[in-house]
Structure 1
Amino acid sequence: MGNKFRMFSLCLFVLLVFLGSQVFAAETGSIIGKVVDKTEMPLPGVTITATSISLIGARNATTNEDGRFRLPILPVGVYTLAFDLTGYRPLKFEKVTVKLGVDTVAEASLELSEEIKEEIVVVADIVPLVDSKTANVATYVDSKQLDTIPSDRSFRDVTKFDPGITGVRFNSGDGTAGDGLPSIRGEGEYGNNYLIDGLSVRDPKTYGTGTPLNFSAIDEIQIISDGFNPEYGQALGGTINVVTKSGGNNFSGEVAWQYKSDAMSQDEADALWSTEKEYTDSHPYLNIGGPIIKDRLWFFTAYEKTMYDETVAAKSVTDPETNQIVDEIASGGNEDDRNNFFLKLSLQINPNNIVSLSGTMYNSEIAGQGTDELRKPDARHTQLTDQLRLRVNYKSILTDTTVLEFKAGMIQRDLDDQGDLGNRGPAEYTNQDTGVYWHNYDNLDNNERDRQDVLLQATHYLEAGGSHELKAGVGYYWANSARTIEFNGLDEDLYPGDTFDGGTRYQFVNNEIDPTYAAVPTLYYEHRSIDIANETSGMSFFIQDTYSPMENLNIMLGVRFDTQDVQNNDKQTLLYFSADESISPRLTATWDITSDSKNIAKIGYGRFFDITSTGLASWGNTASPYAYRMYAWAGPTGDEWNNMSEEERDAALHNGDNWGDGRGNTGADHPRREQSGESNPLYYDPDLRPPYKDEFLVEYDRKLTERYVAKIRYINSHTRDLIEDVAYWKEPGSLEQLWVIENWDEKKRDYYSLEVEFNGHPTDNISFYLSYCNSEAKGTNPGQFELAGFQSQWGSGNDVGVFGDHLPHMWWGEGLGGPKDGNEGWYGYLPYSVDHQIKFRGFWRAPYGITIGTSLEWNSGYHWSRRGYSDGYGDYFTFPDGRGNREMPSIYYWDASLEKAFTFGDRYGLGIKLDIFNLTNSDTAVAYVNQDTDNFGKTLEVQEPMSVRITASFTF
């Protein structure tokens, strides 16, 4: 990493030296408009001055010969506009709202002064409810709403309020009742890009949200579900863009303590994964911002501490058929200790040049992981993280028509996972029927992930046959991930010296004679240690022209490409995507039908590409990763096994002659399956292409009044050229396998939705957002890691998985898809697909310092599948009934918040806030046992029960 970081630092220094003040962060919006006189004639030469508590100093603009003006790169917030022209009465607009990435339109009319010189003050109350310039579909949640609407204090959780977004309240990856990443436009957890202050923070390996951002530091969140402008890229789903706070000319801050406990929660409803637990969840936090030098240098800083302590009661595990107790899970404790620190400095060099530096430091220790799962104390684990994120953002208005932007950043993440037993000798044992883990944790897992980005872009406004907003940008990114896994079970290696000496694990099933008898062994794995180091880098370029041939018509035409070079641990290029392979054309049109911003028709088409994760390169490491041998049990079963003493069973379990290929052959040379570089090497197709999505949009927006708007839209998209490892025979008539990472036609995703929105702000103190969505997400593979059933510990990857591993006539490949056999039931409704959704959020700042917020979500139920058993993998990877042909029951969530503020003097306040989650204590099932076992169809997890969180705060 050292050479890369030094090169990054040198490039940053050189660019700063030569560009001087031409640096900017995409954390802003704009105000545009026109000034006329009372006869509707344009007024050139009008001076417009914008001021706001969000803006350092003031910003000026002057109208051109057509009376038009533009105030670009304004921080989000509420502004006052002053219009001044000699001979005319001064005019002031108050309460003009600027949102992230939006042009707020302000039209003014000036009166001749004659003898009256007094200024005219208008409470304009301009809020951009519709965007008549672009066809991008985005919603906005500002800091006021963030403080009001109940959430878990993460920008990930806030995305759940948007129409069509699924997978947040229900984790479609692991079947739990929360903490899922959003699926946008059917692309799953891996489909999104996450931006903080204009640069991506997406994890290069897992595609998650990266280093957590302190919630108190968020100024506004822009959730872009359809970003047709080419400046948005490297995502097949959506883009979540977060801008952070910058302080102000006056000191202000908050000290608060947030608290939640089991005493303030209902008991969890009965389900296989339900647990009786006692817990306390405390979050003390503080933030302060203000001037270091007024109108010149501001700061904002925030710190949050997480202290979570949980005690889980002992749990009896029963057989679902007989209801007999077959196992016991001892009680245990879980401790979560986290620290999150954020700092931002903003410097105005002059009114047209502002630089900001920001950083996040985060660390955590989460001990006793698995206490609320079916893990016995010796199989629980601890997660440790240390993370750092740095940003430099600079914005410059070069001239009245040209803006230059520059941004650079780096992220470092160290994540470790280790067993609480602290002994690598014992192996992890798993009961496939009950889902219980015991004897040890699986491994020691160490991860390092780094990312560096540099982006330079320029915007130029041109009048030529109409108006043009020309924008172009070029960027460079570099990311790497390194991972080492040391498996436990060193003392239980049955075949030492066979090169698979990196650790072991064992799987069991309930005794077929009686489930209360001793569980019978079924599979034995021996591993090699994993040591992976991969990196990826590339260039991004985009250019776009938003052309307005007439005032009521805007046409955006643009193109983007993203190159990518993916390398293994030996710096060998495994795949390279060139510019011509990722050309992404975009075209949109918006038509103000009645030329009054009340009836807007939109149409859009775009091709979207994404870069691949570093995980795809791991299969090209010089030492094949994830190498193992799997053996099937050939020893005693039933009564014979049960009647043995514990010592005899232990001896039989560790007798290598009791394990083999399941066809009568036993011993080290007869594994049931082997995955390794020798047995099934993977080859990268030299003609590999980046996956892409084609998307089409039609929308109509109706501005009912200045405070209400309704929208209806139709979205259709198709994702193709998805990457998979596909199995072939090396030669006709040969039994030697050939595995190729390629673009496979059978692997695909399709999506459509019809959405209706109605939102507004009836008064200054009331705001609401209501939406309905009818959608369908289908495909062969979700855009995320997919477990082999929710009770499984492993599954199928996003880029390389078990789909496509079918070799014709191979006994272990049935149902896994293959070149000659098609998708074999894999195509269908994806696990995050929901047919119908209704969502509502709103808040009311009532009299007497009371604020009420609420959110309501109803959906018709997620799709789910029966998972069939795959002999070769020893787990549930097939879809005997077809994917997604079952549907969970409809479900609703109702959350609310109530806050009372007490003010003292001009600037001090005390606040008490109650957040109530699942207000009616609904306990609908969110996950079922989907493996085709005796447990199939049993409720695995239900909604999280009603809980209350209290926050006490002091503001100044």
Structure 2
Amino acid sequence: MTTHKGRNYWSAGVKRTALSLALTACFAGGVQAQSNTSGSVFGTAASGDTITVVNTQTGLSRTVTANADGTYRVSALPAGDYKVTRSSAAGESSERTTRVNTGAGANVSFVTAAASSETSNLDAVTVIGASAVNPIDVSSVESVTILTEAQIDRIPVPRSVTNVALLAPGTVRGDGRFGNLASFGGSSVAENVYYINGFNVTNIVNGLAFSELPFEAIQEQQIKTGGYGAEFGRSLGGVINITTKQGTNEWKAGANVFYSPDSLASGTPLAYDPERDGSYRIVDTDSKKDSVVYNVYGGGPLIKDRLFFFGLFQGTKEDEILNYAAGHDSSTLDSPQGLVKLDWYISDNHRLELTAFRDKEVTDGITYSRADGDFTIGGGTRTGTFRTETGGDNYIGRWTGYITENLTLSALYGKGKYSRGEVNSNAADCPVVIDVRSSGTPPLGASGCWVGTGVVGIPDAGDERTAWRFDGEWVLGDHTVRFGLDDETFETVDGSEYSGAGYWRYLNASPGARLANGAIVPDGVTEVVRFRYFGNGGNFETQNSAWYLEDTWQITDTLNLYGGIRNESFKNLNSNGGAFVDIKDTWAPRLGFSWDVNGDSTFKVFGNAGRYYIPVYSNTNVRLAGAELDYQEFYTFSAIDPVTGVPTLGTEIGTRSYTSSGEVPDPRAVVDNDLDPMYQDEYIAGIQFQLAPNWTAGVRAIYRELKSGMDDICSGDGAEAWALQNGYSEDQAGAIAEALSHCFLTNPGQNLSANVDLDGTGELSVVNIPATAIGIPEAKRKYSALEFMLEKAWDNKWFMSASYTFAKSKGNTEGYVKSDNGQGDAGITQDFDYPGLMDGSYGYLPNDRRHSFKLFGAYALTDELRIGANLLVQSGRPVNCFGIYPADGPDQHASGYGVASFYCGANGSYDYANSLHPRGTSGRVPWVRTLDLQLAYEPQWAPGLNFRIDVNNVLDSDDYYRVQDNWDAGAGEKIYDYKNPRGFVAPRSVMFSIGYDF
């Protein structure tokens, strides 16, 4: 990466009447927000009727009385199938069945709204979309997609949380350099939040990882793409909410195996440079992978109607060969994982859940090097070995109490560990060596003996989260009040260094060009080598807390108004335990409405507005407030060691350029006193309606705008000039410049308040610097979209879900990652470091996919045979032209970052006045088209037995998601593969599965 460094609690001690009046006065907008662990049943009956809801799988029973207007609501229900019975005072009764999904409400009405005040035997109002992916839930304004285990099994979607999330409208696949992650509504892939049974499992080192269940343990996956209520926070993107399987009153067990042979996989296409005499150089490739995943599971009642058990063990064995330009990795992944879930219904009014799961993965591999142009799989010379470990153990306990008919409380406590350890055999002796010369002496191709990514972490790197939360719901006549608070502490152990304690990069050079350290390439020099050292580490702590309060007002029989407020606090500590970020009392209002136009859940009009904050990730602790040493040097050279790739050095060009000194900075001196966390505002309006029985359609309009960005700046020149003009001495102005030049966390484009040692005495003084003096633009990101949806619910014959999204994502920052260069440094990307790097930065962002068509579904050919399909057609992301900031530009430091600006050369030259290529103006990546198919056989002669064949990318599309955006090799010369393909779609693969449930 080309980077520089690269509690408040609510008390319910108020009277019922006062609380209701206060909430009504404070909130004038959304609808009923739903819990992240349960759903609800609501509807209408005759006034005074008794409504009893019974889970047909566990026997859980709840009874409520219909209000004076005939409405009723039963909340905090675990996902499952329910029998709903209405009993009148006259002894009449009727019965309905429904499905309750996590985070959603099921409408079960026994009379129409107009007849609810009378005793009536009218037919029930049908629950619209109960088996749909996007059900019409008139109790919610959230933009949500719900996929159950049965729905997922009917379609050929790769079995991962992200791939399921990518089925939802408004989601796009993120840059593959960050892993398999999704972008929601124009946000970066690092701005989502992930829950399992109510426990936040997002890894907030940089937001690019999360704890995952064995996929077969998932009962439902809920994908919130916008409009979520005050219960949810710490996300600017989406919410992925997982509910696990659990035991029932019937003992059940089963096993299955999923096998993907590499012999039937096509492998990713090879990208090449046709200008190099037609010879190939592998620049980006996935791999052929031989994979076997097997599961054994079972569950049932330990005590009927009271105590239930479910357990699952998953084994994984993957053999993989990953090709790249100078060699390949041959690795084996061993991943024993599992889940245990206990549900204890202590009584009809109290429930206790205990969840434990492991998602640890260990990968052992061997690295081989080979000559350029040799594509032999398994060939080459053995270089070294590596071992990585990710994931860990998680424990969750949750109590739910139905205190009265109108009051429900719940409490959760959880602990989770996530390992990020890695070792390799060559880390001590083999530095990173990269050769990007188009030609040179010694011959092109020096690569050395380094192993892995080049940045080696410490073996015990990892994170531990401890969290608790308390939630409540109180029905007060026409008002449903929900409230809660939560707290989490995240402990991080981290450290990394370049393999072999350094990174050598060979470059072609142009005499007279400026190098990244500010020096000029001497006459006659056409090749240089850059050396960079980078290392950091320490123990860090991050603390997040929040409380929320919301009210849903059933203003009429068909109109819900919702208002909520969320208050969050964020605290980050440096490696010495000092707080360098301590933000209290962020206020995030949420407003909305839902109108059940026909009063029968067949036509819904809704809208919402909300503000959303995201924490300061602990990556910022590591990079900005830890002990970090980062510098670079440039040399001529005369020879290259054939084993290590290390050069025989000639003359040093210029001097060593430091970015970080290696000392732990004073926490008061690296952060803006008035720092705001990153937040955005969101507005959504939409409709959903029934076209015919089992058919629904809808449209949503979405607008999101980043209101405050958060990043670091590393330029003090403008502040120094301002200080000299405003009465500060030269020494004091220099001190101000020095304070900002070592990289300073702030809100770009806003006034800045810094603590500076003005006189060298160690005493810090507050200096308030206007934004105009610093010269950094305000962080901007805007997303607008129209989403169109059409759905046919499963009717034991077929189902279909289709969507088209027209979207624009524009701004000068992607957010917590930078897909431009694959930088995952949340909160401290190279954006905004120097004014010159921001020239031309406003434009269409990497997650701008203007058009997205998604279609998936299944069709039962016979009682035993079923086919499924999943189609994606999506336009490509914008293309950029990155180069070195010109030597004749006004920013004398921006060129120090090398290929990092929107200035790129033409005919080997840079010109500040004429070489600017603004963001997204250098073309578009072509469209991506993929089709997946499934054939399933469930023989009637053996109930519970099933066979499936899934073919992903059946047409073997060789489309790709990005191109090489760097025009420059790093020393003023065009790179050989500018605009060559990168990030190919997953190649065609075949998965066979067999399962048996009994």
Does the 8 Å CA contact 1:557/1:588 hold for their aligned counterparts?
A: yes
Does the 8 Å CA contact 2:40/2:75 hold for their aligned counterparts?
A: yes
> Which whole-Å CA distance do the structure 2 matches of 1:448 and 1:259 have between them?
31
Q: What amino acid sits opposite 2:200 in the alignment? A: S
Match of 1:547 in 2: 553
Whether 1:915 aligns to 2:950 is yes
Kindly report which structure 2 residues correspond to 1:489-500, keeping only aligned pairs within 5 A, or say none: 489=500
Aligned partner of residue 233 in structure 1, secondary structure: coil
Match of 1:18 in 2: none
Question: Residue 481 of structure 2 is aligned with which of 462, 470, 473?
Answer: 470
> Which whole-Å CA distance do the structure 2 matches of 1:624 and 1:144 have between them?
50
Question: Residue 720 of structure 2 is aligned with which of 708, 714, 731?
Answer: 731
Does the 8 Å CA contact 1:460/1:470 hold for their aligned counterparts?
A: yes
Match of 1:804 in 2: 832
Does the 8 Å CA contact 2:49/2:89 hold for their aligned counterparts?
A: no
Match of 1:597 in 2: 601
Match of 1:671 in 2: 656
Does the 8 Å CA contact 1:692/1:721 hold for their aligned counterparts?
A: yes
> Which whole-Å CA distance do the structure 1 matches of 2:368 and 2:71 have between them?
63
CA displacement at 1:187 relative to structure 2: 1.0
> Which whole-Å CA distance do the structure 1 matches of 2:595 and 2:868 have between them?
35
Does the 8 Å CA contact 1:334/1:371 hold for their aligned counterparts?
A: no
Whether 1:526 aligns to 2:558 is no
CA displacement at 1:261 relative to structure 2: 1.5
Change beyond 3 A, Cα 1:680–1:57? closer
> Which whole-Å CA distance do the structure 1 matches of 2:980 and 2:634 have between them?
27
> Could you report, residue by residue, the CA deviation over 1:331-373 in whole angstroms, capped at 9, with x for unpaired residues?
5522111121111000001112111100112322212377799
Does the 8 Å CA contact 1:312/1:372 hold for their aligned counterparts?
A: no
Whether 1:428 aligns to 2:432 is yes
> Which whole-Å CA distance do the structure 1 matches of 2:672 and 2:692 have between them?
57
Change beyond 3 A, Cα 1:372–1:930? farther
Change beyond 3 A, Cα 1:124–1:79? farther
Question: Residue 839 of structure 2 is aligned with which of 824, 835, 839?
Answer: 824
Question: Residue 754 of structure 1 is aligned with which of 786, 792, 805?
Answer: 786
Change beyond 3 A, Cα 1:680–1:937? farther
> Which whole-Å CA distance do the structure 2 matches of 1:878 and 1:861 have between them?
22
> Which whole-Å CA distance do the structure 1 matches of 2:496 and 2:825 have between them?
17
Does the 8 Å CA contact 2:627/2:662 hold for their aligned counterparts?
A: yes
Match of 1:614 in 2: 618
Whether 1:366 aligns to 2:363 is yes
Change beyond 3 A, Cα 1:678–1:432? farther
CA displacement at 1:68 relative to structure 2: 3.1
Match of 1:226 in 2: 226
Whether 1:482 aligns to 2:519 is no
Does the 8 Å CA contact 1:508/1:519 hold for their aligned counterparts?
A: no
Question: Residue 714 of structure 1 is aligned with which of 681, 701, 722?
Answer: 701
> Which whole-Å CA distance do the structure 1 matches of 2:316 and 2:202 have between them?
23
Match of 1:902 in 2: 939
Kindly report which structure 2 residues correspond to 1:152-163, keeping only aligned pairs within 5 A, or say none: 152-163=158-169
CA displacement at 1:884 relative to structure 2: 2.2
Change beyond 3 A, Cα 1:277–1:164? closer
> Could you report, residue by residue, the CA deviation over 1:74-94 in whole angstroms, capped at 9, with x for unpaired residues?
222222223334644432213
Q: What amino acid sits opposite 1:737 in the alignment? A: E
Aligned partner of residue 439 in structure 1, secondary structure: coil
> Which whole-Å CA distance do the structure 1 matches of 2:321 and 2:623 have between them?
40
> Which whole-Å CA distance do the structure 2 matches of 1:390 and 1:142 have between them?
23
Match of 2:725 in 1: none
> Which whole-Å CA distance do the structure 1 matches of 2:456 and 2:44 have between them?
63
Aligned length: 837
CA displacement at 1:311 relative to structure 2: 4.0
Does the 8 Å CA contact 1:869/1:931 hold for their aligned counterparts?
A: no
Does the 8 Å CA contact 2:368/2:384 hold for their aligned counterparts?
A: no
CA displacement at 1:539 relative to structure 2: 2.2
Aligned partner of residue 262 in structure 2, secondary structure: strand
Q: What amino acid sits opposite 1:586 in the alignment? A: R
TM-score by length of 2: 0.79
> Which whole-Å CA distance do the structure 2 matches of 1:486 and 1:925 have between them?
32
Question: Residue 889 of structure 1 is aligned with which of 926, 930, 944?
Answer: 926
Change beyond 3 A, Cα 1:674–1:283? same
Match of 1:324 in 2: none
Match of 2:630 in 1: 628
> Which whole-Å CA distance do the structure 1 matches of 2:358 and 2:599 have between them?
49
CA displacement at 1:510 relative to structure 2: 6.0
Change beyond 3 A, Cα 1:474–1:678? closer
CA displacement at 1:247 relative to structure 2: 1.3
Change beyond 3 A, Cα 1:46–1:801? closer
Question: Residue 348 of structure 1 is aligned with which of 345, 348, 355?
Answer: 345
Match of 2:206 in 1: 206
> Which whole-Å CA distance do the structure 1 matches of 2:704 and 2:159 have between them?
32
Q: What amino acid sits opposite 2:854 in the alignment? A: K
Aligned partner of residue 399 in structure 1, secondary structure: coil
CA displacement at 1:903 relative to structure 2: 4.4
| Bigger strand share | 1
**Structure 1: tracts of 5 or more residues without a match:** 1-6, 8-23, 36-41, 111-118, 318-328, 490-502, 636-640, 662-669, 808-814, 817-822
CA displacement at 1:293 relative to structure 2: 1.2
> Could you report, residue by residue, the CA deviation over 1:687-732 in whole angstroms, capped at 9, with x for unpaired residues?
1111110111111222223422111111111112211212213633
> Which whole-Å CA distance do the structure 2 matches of 1:336 and 1:526 have between them?
31
CA displacement at 1:294 relative to structure 2: 1.3
Is the deviation greater in 875-884 or in 707-716? 875-884
Q: What amino acid sits opposite 1:286 in the alignment? A: V
> Which whole-Å CA distance do the structure 1 matches of 2:695 and 2:642 have between them?
75
Does the 8 Å CA contact 2:128/2:602 hold for their aligned counterparts?
A: no
CA displacement at 1:155 relative to structure 2: 1.3
Q: CA RMSD in A?
A: 3.2
> Which whole-Å CA distance do the structure 1 matches of 2:369 and 2:90 have between them?
74
Change beyond 3 A, Cα 1:835–1:26? closer
> Which whole-Å CA distance do the structure 1 matches of 2:466 and 2:621 have between them?
18
Question: Residue 282 of structure 1 is aligned with which of 273, 292, 298?
Answer: 292
TM-score by length of 1: 0.82
> Could you report, residue by residue, the CA deviation over 1:531-551 in whole angstroms, capped at 9, with x for unpaired residues?
222211132111011111111
CA displacement at 1:139 relative to structure 2: 0.9
Kindly report which structure 2 residues correspond to 1:768-787, keeping only aligned pairs within 5 A, or say none: 768-786=800-818
> Which whole-Å CA distance do the structure 1 matches of 2:52 and 2:641 have between them?
86
> Which whole-Å CA distance do the structure 2 matches of 1:331 and 1:479 have between them?
36
> Which whole-Å CA distance do the structure 1 matches of 2:677 and 2:707 have between them?
9
Question: Residue 876 of structure 2 is aligned with which of 841, 846, 861?
Answer: 861
CA displacement at 1:796 relative to structure 2: 6.7
Aligned partner of residue 248 in structure 2, secondary structure: coil
Kindly report which structure 2 residues correspond to 1:368-407, keeping only aligned pairs within 5 A, or say none: 368=365, 377-378=382-383, 381-407=386-412
Q: Percent identity?
A: 21
> Could you report, residue by residue, the CA deviation over 1:23-69 in whole angstroms, capped at 9, with x for unpaired residues?
x984211111222xxxxxx242434242322x344333333443333
Change beyond 3 A, Cα 1:869–1:377? farther
Change beyond 3 A, Cα 1:246–1:915? same
**Structure 2: tracts of 5 or more residues without a match:** 1-6, 8-33, 113-120, 272-281, 373-379, 439-444, 512-524, 722-729, 750-777, 886-893, 904-916, 968-974
Change beyond 3 A, Cα 1:277–1:46? closer
Does the 8 Å CA contact 2:688/2:697 hold for their aligned counterparts?
A: yes
Whether 1:946 aligns to 2:988 is yes
> Which whole-Å CA distance do the structure 1 matches of 2:407 and 2:47 have between them?
22
CA displacement at 1:306 relative to structure 2: 1.4
CA displacement at 1:944 relative to structure 2: 2.4
> Which whole-Å CA distance do the structure 1 matches of 2:919 and 2:665 have between them?
28
> Which whole-Å CA distance do the structure 1 matches of 2:612 and 2:504 have between them?
43
> Which whole-Å CA distance do the structure 1 matches of 2:640 and 2:929 have between them?
51
Q: What amino acid sits opposite 1:398 in the alignment? A: I
> Which whole-Å CA distance do the structure 2 matches of 1:157 and 1:405 have between them?
31
Q: What amino acid sits opposite 1:543 in the alignment? A: L
Question: Residue 705 of structure 1 is aligned with which of 684, 688, 692?
Answer: 692
